[in-house]
Structure 1
Amino acid sequence: MSTSVTPRHAKTPARPAAVAARVLPGLAVAAGVSAAALGVSQWLPSLSPLLLAIVAGAALANAGWLSPRLEPGLAVASRRLLRLGVALLGLQLALSDVLGLGWGVIGVVVAVVVLGIAGAMAVGRLLGLSRSQTLLIAGGFSICGAAAAAAVDGVIDSEDDELVTSVALVVLFGTAMIPLLPLLAGWIGLGPERAGIWAGASIHEVAQVVAASGVIGGGALALGVVVKLGRVLMLAPVLAVISLRERRLRSRAEACGPIDGAAAVGRGGRPPLVPLFVIGFVALMVARTCGLVPSAALSLAKPAETALLTMAMFALGTGVRVGSLRRVGPRPFVLAAVTTAWVATVSLGGILLAT
């Protein structure tokens, strides 16, 4: 990372007025960029506002056009607004939609997430990457892209450059899958429905799934989105398992003494048993499934969730430095490429068997 303070570690005074004075400039810039990205995505629906915001943040940061006084507000956007946006994702999910896919496709979704994470962790160890970097890539590539990587970051003690590297890799490899997967589906001979399921089961971001499914045509889009949301549904149990694992590791590290503990798990204390934003995600999903959320609220929740995540992605993008990406070396890129291929292979094999 560069020597400038990153948004995640900016600190604010305790007094509400002083906090507001420090965070408002950064939040205002994030909101402005978010509005612009949302406007562009309305004009060009194939472009995800989340990805546009990440690119905009990285471009402005590397050009030196962001003042240090924006950092407190960007810190709020990259952490608190992100977690609120992830929680609101639960309103997109109705269990009835996912169950309507059939048990075969549901099994494929579970296999993609479980085997995707397991395979990425194994390859990451072989490459000698840190556990935290590997977990961020594994979660992002196996579940739902940048939002998943950032959610995993909320329950582990990772470095700033590890998260922004993971987000950048999601953008790079997920975007490459948009033209590649339809070409491969046509070459293999998959029909639109199977190809749509494959897109939803293997591509990283929801918007990338929409773009690839639109290229495929036919009934691919609806199936691809529902399958992708099935992968999003796996976010809650995966985060709960990771959080439990982190607590156990840190308990062992504390038992080994402060030096060994610091070496093993970093500086942070124990994460919560189940993060609050995960509880919110599950609660909102249950409310949507049970029909407790009015249709008017649902119509407002989707743009609100997208706006919050877009602001958060801009804030995360400001931490992407070209120099830091050069310094991380080729190993994260190798892991990202292998994980992308592995997830696509697992999902394709499952689809051929299940459908």
Structure 2
Amino acid sequence: MSAFTATLSDPRRIIAQAKVLAPGTALAIVLAMAAQFLSNHYGAPVMLMAILLGIPFHFLSEHENTGPGITFAAKGLLRIGVALLGLRVSLDMVRQIGWGFVLVIAFCIAVTILGSILLSRFVGKDRAFGFLTGGSVAICGASAAMAISSILPQRETAERDLSFTVISVTAFSTVAMIVYPILAEALGLDQHLTGLFLGGTIHDVAQVVGAGYSVSDETGDIATVVKLIRVTMLAPVVLIGALAMRRHAPATDARPPLLPGFVAAFLVLAALNSFHLVPEVVIAPASTLSRALLVTAVAAVGMKTSLAKLADVGGTAIAMLAVQTAVLAGLVLVPLLLGLV
């Protein structure tokens, strides 16, 4: 019997474990609520607020009373939140946009991630950093960064790199939310093509929604659907990444699972939603819960981040993210301007 199964079969152990995790997890939830308040009342990006609010409380991640719960929030709650994202996607979205543009999106994601891995070597970073930043830019910003980080091998700079990526990609996404609608208008894109462009390029879902509906309802609807199709790509990317990490892991290391459990759950929920087997009354609360869990996980990551170590990432990494963002925008724009979709 595994330790996990043994724990589930013993209520006393469950209660004892809950008591250990409660203080740190509660702190992460409070910070997530504060971040959501700032987002609702002042329009600040909620993920950025969550991680920035968490960083000053780094000392709590090293305290014996709060450390275990913060670690659980950063990893356990993250995986549940990513799995629940599966209820936001379905094959109906693919049919609405068309397989041609879906293939364009898949190609752009692959090129962005592979290019980022290659580029990382020229800026003094490892392949894991390239995969982390490339995946967050190509797929869904902070959520993708969190999911990808969970399958990367243990590294001394893992938490620093994750925090840097979440902060940077959210900042770039916010800039894109303002600049990209102006760019689309300057290029003469109609509302439909503008929706495809915004949904295919902006990193975070919230910023896609903000940019799309600032143009028109039609643009907002299209941009949101395209963005959720990009979210769907998270599962195969994480799966392929896990297989690659498993293949290259030293024999002495514990290999990651062939299919991470949260990825399997994501795929199952997406399949159930595609066949309309999930009641509508469940989808909206599950989507809200997913976002709440992801914001809580980001706040916990902030608490696990040392500000001094964060400064060690360097300006070349910021330039790398800027290049990734620009490349993705160019890759999506070309077929739109040429009338290929």
1:115 maps to 2:111: yes
Q: Secondary structure at the match of 1:248?
A: helix
C-alpha distance after superposition, 1:17-56 (max 9, x if no partner): 4432221111112222223333444445x54433321222
Within 1, Cα distance between the matches of 2:45 and 2:163?
18
C-alpha distance after superposition, 1:88-110 (max 9, x if no partner): 00000111112210122112211
* Counterpart mapping for 1:319-330 below 5 A: 319-330=304-315
Residue 47 of structure 2 corresponds to 50
* Counterpart mapping for 1:222-237 below 5 A: 222-237=221-236
Letter aligned with residue 179 of structure 2: L
Within 1, Cα distance between the matches of 2:265 and 2:340?
32
* Counterpart mapping for 1:67-78 below 5 A: 68=63, 69-78=65-74
C-alpha distance after superposition, 1:159-199 (max 9, x if no partner): 22121121121122111211111121122122222122111
Residue 176 of structure 2 corresponds to 177
Residue 307 of structure 1 corresponds to 292
Q: Secondary structure at the match of 1:274?
A: coil
C-alpha distance after superposition, 1:253-297 (max 9, x if no partner): 33xxx6xxxxxxxxx411111100000000000011111111111
List gaps (5 residues or longer) in structure 1: 1-13, 259-267
Quote the offset at 1:321 in angstroms.
Answer: 3.5
CA RMSD, 1 decimal: 2.0
* Counterpart mapping for 1:1-355 below 5 A: 15-43=13-41, 46-58=43-55, 60-61=56-57, 68=63, 69-157=65-153, 158=155, 159-250=158-249, 253-254=250-251, 268-352=253-337, 353-355=339-341
List gaps (5 residues or longer) in structure 2: 1-11
Structure 2 contact 133–321 (Cα < 8 Å) conserved: yes
Within 2, Cα distance between the matches of 1:183 and 1:16?
53
Within 1, Cα distance between the matches of 2:255 and 2:140?
25
Within 1, Cα distance between the matches of 2:66 and 2:333?
44
TM-score (norm 1): 0.86
Letter aligned with residue 122 of structure 2: L
Letter aligned with residue 351 of structure 1: L
Structure 1 contact 109–347 (Cα < 8 Å) conserved: yes
Choose 291-300 or 345-354, whichever is displaced more.
345-354
Within 2, Cα distance between the matches of 1:205 and 1:195?
17
Within 1, Cα distance between the matches of 2:91 and 2:46?
26
Choose 103-112 or 133-142, whichever is displaced more.
103-112
Within 2, Cα distance between the matches of 1:168 and 1:301?
26
Within 2, Cα distance between the matches of 1:91 and 1:43?
28
Structure 1 contact 116–142 (Cα < 8 Å) conserved: yes
Letter aligned with residue 53 of structure 1: A
C-alpha distance after superposition, 1:60-113 (max 9, x if no partner): 337x68883322111111101000000000000111112210122112211221
Count how many residue pairs are aligned between Structure 1 and Structure 2.
Answer: 325
Q: Secondary structure at the match of 1:148?
A: helix
Within 1, Cα distance between the matches of 2:310 and 2:198?
28
Cα 1:272–1:280, aligned 2, differ >3 Å: closer, same or farther? same
Letter aligned with residue 320 of structure 2: L
Structure 1 contact 87–278 (Cα < 8 Å) conserved: yes
Structure 1 contact 38–49 (Cα < 8 Å) conserved: yes
Quote the offset at 1:300 in angstroms.
Answer: 1.4
Within 1, Cα distance between the matches of 2:60 and 2:159?
20
Letter aligned with residue 272 of structure 1: P
